[in-house]
Chain A
Amino acid sequence: MAPVIMADASPEKRLFISLLTRDIPLVAAFLDLIDNSINATVEPYSLRLRSADEYLAVFADTEVSPEVDIRIKLSPGRVEITDTASGISAETAKNHVFKFGRGDEPSNGTDRLSVYGIGLKRALFKLGNKIVMRSDHVDGGFDLKLDVSKWAKSSQLPWTFSITPRNPVPATETGTSIIVTELYDQVQRRLDDGLFESQLRDSVAKTYAYYLAKFVRIYIDDEAVEGISIELGNNHASEIFKFEGVTCAVTAGIGVPQGGSFRDKSAGWFVFCNGRAVISADKSPLTGWGGNGLPIFQPKHRPFLGTVFFVSDDPEQLPWTTTKSAINEDSAVWQTTKRHMASLGRVVISFLDGRYTDEGTELASKDLQIAMGDAKVSLLSAATGKQKKSFQAPAKVQNASVRIQYDALVEEISKIAKHLKRPGMSGSDVGRHTFHYYLRNEVGAE
């Protein structure tokens, strides 16, 4: 029998770093760091956050209010993120925090936003070459100083980071700070591109609306971020079901207009995993538009607002990708939920389609008010409602008037205007005048 040869299948650090960081947008890398802070913050509440309605109960609990500050500071060549959460002990850092992946360990049941065990490292590798991390914990924290390029060159196995233990601190002084310098060129350019900060602010406001209301305050360059508030009418469809250990709550209805109109950024599907928004205002085939039960999204569908709220005490069961900024389309949980979304959303969409004639004319605008119902509810309370509900499409309101449109020669319109001794009359004024003239003189109506 031929001897067995052990072929080298060991990972190469630089490739590993490149693979890890290439697919995550910079904004999502910052969100990964925030996820870690929030995960530590909500750990004491984990037993109260196991189903959609428990999330709502905590949301409604006036005893729970934000206690932890997360601060992000962006300056030339430097990124700093600090939090006042419970910190990371030297023991946890040694055995878990810097390990790439979770290994075979089962979920500890207390994590809510920490899933695969790569977010922190990926975010740090994404940003820059020099990393200084300090954490203070009641059991003693640690210091880390990492030069990524030097670390990548070393072929020593197993992979390790050198950390220095720190003394225990009182519970009031715990927290973690991360400073990244020698930012990579493309990161620095992105930070300076005039849009990044507002995009980050917008993403934080959307992604953590739930946590900003109850658990944390987040500041970007010393300015507090407020979570977005999206509401929908109380006439909405909702359904809650459980699939493979994941609770799924789906809602579809009519959003509440903002600034007098239904805004594109508030229309479509919003998907949450354990209270964290994963996708917002989605109008693509991912959420079923254009093929899976829903039509291609058109401007007339802007009043549509749908939510999906997934909850699991094993975050790995949730249908998010490793970046947590997208959905794992192949997940059975997602595929099942997508069918429920189409079924609930279709009723609302067909009502919205029915508001237009074949020529695309809007029939009435009051009907949207009626369709919303007599009250508005927050997106979260709609998403986590216990009862199965259906959307009641209101009866069609027929307008008392219809719009008449026809083509006429400019020359002939001018002739009429001249005849009326009003040469500046517009085409529509001429049309209105001649219509009323006919009505009065030929039909004899008032």
Chain B
Amino acid sequence: MPRPARSTARFIAYDLRPAKQSERGILIDMLRIGGDVGLSLRDYRYVGMGANRFYDFLLMHKYLGMKSMVSIEHDPDMYQRAIYNVPYHFIDVQNTTVSNFLASDESERPEILWLDYDGGIGPDIVGDIASIGTRLKVGDYCFVTVSGGPPRVMDQVGDADRLAMLQDSLGDLAGGVALEDVERANFPDAVHKILAAAFKNAFAMRSDGRFRPLLQVEYADSMPMVTVGGALLADGTWQSYKQRMKQALPFLALDWSQMYEIRTFFLSERERALFDRVATNGRPRSSERNALRKMGFKDREFEAYKELIRYLPRYVETAV
């Protein structure tokens, strides 16, 4: 039997990932809209992969009031650490894989699934999405996060070989991937196309609701990552949801066409104070804007910052 992949929490400093933290903030805002359109989120169960820090679990409880949670941990060693670190009594940490969980779990509760995988895109992940297509109830959410880089076996080969390997391992789901998508710099686009196709296909025959894309983002703290997901919604709910999404999160696409890039800003505290003022000022000319321009910052950076201003974390050093 192949040895299961080791949890990336062993070697990635998850407490210093500004883009990931922004993603979590966007996700929470997007879920809150669900509450506004009538979904009773505090009654939902959250299924995620909390590793040993459980950041998303903390946010789900703090901001959405959820009290039923499952954390899936496939790495037996990390499982012991997860048990030790679990912050709330109501989080059920299970030492299993996503596919085993999906095959064995039976829950009647409405759910939010965030499957935050350790590795790159592959048949297991699209297989899990196919299973989710028959599992989700109307009103449920599902998001999948995977590495935006080529899987290890495809890492050292040329683009044409990489495309051939991708098509061989994923079949028709990789049919929309073009040669330029598999170039290393563009690989997140390939991952997005595959995940979008997998979600569309998984839910294509559902007649009780349609799976609507709500979050399609790429970001890179230490390595490129892609998240794609949404909710299975009845048409009426979707109309209200869509309207509110356009107002609250206008930068997110509500069809499958594109991803939003969560940019990372490398700013000093003083520069950031200027960015804050420029983003909230709105005037095309201001002393702060001119000062930043003189330092070489571009208007597109102000726009990107403005979109993310509510979500960008501030890190400070403390001595505990």
Q: Which residues of chain A are within 8 angstroms of B278 by Cβ–Cβ distance?
A: none
Q: Which residues of chain B are within 8 angstroms of A263 by Cβ–Cβ distance?
A: 164, 168
> A194 near B197 (CB under 8 angstroms)?
yes
Task: Mark contacts of A189-217 with chain B using CB atoms, 8 A cut-off: 1 yes-contact digit, 0 otherwise.
Answer: 11011110111011000000000000000
Indicate whether A170 reaches chain B with its CB closer than 8 angstroms: no
- A436, chain B: closest CB distance, angstroms: 28
> B168 near A195 (CB under 8 angstroms)?
no
Indicate whether A299 reaches chain B with its CB closer than 8 angstroms: no
Indicate whether B142 reaches chain A with its CB closer than 8 angstroms: no
> B204 near A199 (CB under 8 angstroms)?
no
Q: Which residues of chain B are within 8 angstroms of A67 by Cβ–Cβ distance?
A: none
The answer for the CA separation of A189 and B207 in the assembled complex, in Å, is 9
Indicate whether A260 reaches chain B with its CB closer than 8 angstroms: yes
Q: Which residue of B lies closest to A190 (CB)?
A: B204
Indicate whether B69 reaches chain A with its CB closer than 8 angstroms: no
Please judge, given known A-B contacts A198-B172, A202-B175, A263-B168, whether A192 and B204 are in contact too, CB under 8 Å.
yes
> B201 near A195 (CB under 8 angstroms)?
yes
Q: Which residues of chain B are within 8 angstroms of A198 by Cβ–Cβ distance?
A: 172, 175-176, 197
Residues 203-262 of B at the A interface (beta carbon under 8 Å): 204-205, 256
> B157 near A193 (CB under 8 angstroms)?
no
The answer for the CA separation of A263 and B160 in the assembled complex, in Å, is 13
Indicate whether B146 reaches chain A with its CB closer than 8 angstroms: no
Q: Which residues of chain B are within 8 angstroms of A258 by Cβ–Cβ distance?
A: 160, 164
> A260 near B168 (CB under 8 angstroms)?
no
Q: Which residues of chain A are within 8 angstroms of B161 by Cβ–Cβ distance?
A: 259-260
Q: Which residues of chain A are within 8 angstroms of B196 by Cβ–Cβ distance?
A: 194
Q: Which residue of B lies closest to A197 (CB)?
A: B176
The answer for the CA separation of A50 and B4 in the assembled complex, in Å, is 59
Indicate whether A264 reaches chain B with its CB closer than 8 angstroms: yes
Q: Which residues of chain B are within 8 angstroms of A192 by Cβ–Cβ distance?
A: 200, 204
> B157 near A194 (CB under 8 angstroms)?
no
Q: Which residues of chain A are within 8 angstroms of B157 by Cβ–Cβ distance?
A: 259-260
From A201, A259, A260, give the contact of B175 (CB < 8 A). Answer: A201
- A94, chain B: closest CB distance, angstroms: 40
Residues 163-181 of B at the A interface (beta carbon under 8 Å): 163-165, 167-168, 172-173, 175-176
Residues 240-270 of A at the B interface (beta carbon under 8 Å): 258-261, 263-265
- A37, chain B: closest CB distance, angstroms: 23
Indicate whether B114 reaches chain A with its CB closer than 8 angstroms: no
Q: Which residue of B lies closest to A266 (CB)?
A: B164
> A264 near B175 (CB under 8 angstroms)?
no
> B200 near A199 (CB under 8 angstroms)?
no
> A195 near B197 (CB under 8 angstroms)?
yes
From A194, A259, A264, give the contact of B200 (CB < 8 A). Answer: A194
> B175 near A195 (CB under 8 angstroms)?
yes
The answer for the CA separation of A445 and B24 in the assembled complex, in Å, is 65
Please judge, given known A-B contacts A194-B173, A198-B172, A201-B175, whether A189 and B204 are in contact too, CB under 8 Å.
yes
Number of A-B contacts (CB under 8 A): 51
Q: Which residue of B lies closest to A199 (CB)?
A: B172
Indicate whether B79 reaches chain A with its CB closer than 8 angstroms: no
- B263, chain A: closest CB distance, angstroms: 28
> B168 near A264 (CB under 8 angstroms)?
yes
> B205 near A194 (CB under 8 angstroms)?
no
Q: Which residues of chain B are within 8 angstroms of A261 by Cβ–Cβ distance?
A: 164
The answer for the CA separation of A193 and B129 in the assembled complex, in Å, is 13
Q: Which residues of chain A are within 8 angstroms of B163 by Cβ–Cβ distance?
A: 259
- A264, chain B: closest CB distance, angstroms: 7
Q: Output the residue of B157, B199, B204 with the most chain A CB within 10 A.
A: B204
The answer for the CA separation of A260 and B173 in the assembled complex, in Å, is 22
> A193 near B168 (CB under 8 angstroms)?
no
> B175 near A189 (CB under 8 angstroms)?
no
Q: Which residue of B lies closest to A191 (CB)?
A: B204
> B204 near A193 (CB under 8 angstroms)?
yes
Indicate whether B198 reaches chain A with its CB closer than 8 angstroms: yes
Q: Which residues of chain A are within 8 angstroms of B256 by Cβ–Cβ distance?
A: 194
- B79, chain A: closest CB distance, angstroms: 25
Q: Which residues of chain B are within 8 angstroms of A197 by Cβ–Cβ distance?
A: 175-176
> A195 near B172 (CB under 8 angstroms)?
yes
The answer for the CA separation of A257 and B168 in the assembled complex, in Å, is 13
- B129, chain A: closest CB distance, angstroms: 10
> A194 near B204 (CB under 8 angstroms)?
yes
The answer for the CA separation of A337 and B3 in the assembled complex, in Å, is 49
Residues 89-127 of A at the B interface (beta carbon under 8 Å): none
The answer for the CA separation of A263 and B161 in the assembled complex, in Å, is 11
The answer for the CA separation of A259 and B160 in the assembled complex, in Å, is 6
The answer for the CA separation of A189 and B165 in the assembled complex, in Å, is 29
- B76, chain A: closest CB distance, angstroms: 19
> B164 near A195 (CB under 8 angstroms)?
no
Q: Which residue of A lies closest to B196 (CB)?
A: A194
- A201, chain B: closest CB distance, angstroms: 7
- A257, chain B: closest CB distance, angstroms: 10
> B201 near A194 (CB under 8 angstroms)?
yes
The answer for the CA separation of A196 and B87 in the assembled complex, in Å, is 45
> B164 near A193 (CB under 8 angstroms)?
no
- A219, chain B: closest CB distance, angstroms: 15
The answer for the CA separation of A193 and B173 in the assembled complex, in Å, is 10
Q: Which residue of B lies closest to A195 (CB)?
A: B172
The answer for the CA separation of A271 and B201 in the assembled complex, in Å, is 30
A positions within 8 Å CB-CB of B: 189-190, 192-195, 197-199, 201-202, 258-261, 263-265
22 contacts between A and B (CB under 8 A): A189-B204, A192-B200, A193-B201, A193-B205, A194-B201, A194-B256, A195-B172, A195-B173, A195-B175, A195-B200, A197-B176, A198-B172, A198-B176, A201-B175, A202-B172, A258-B160, A260-B161, A261-B164, A263-B164, A263-B168, A265-B167, A265-B168
- Starting from the known contacts A194-B256, A198-B172, A201-B175, 17 additional A-B residue pairs (CB-CB under 8 Å) come to A192-B204, A193-B200, A193-B201, A193-B205, A194-B173, A194-B196, A194-B201, A195-B197, A195-B200, A195-B201, A197-B176, A198-B197, A199-B172, A202-B172, A202-B175, A258-B160, A259-B163
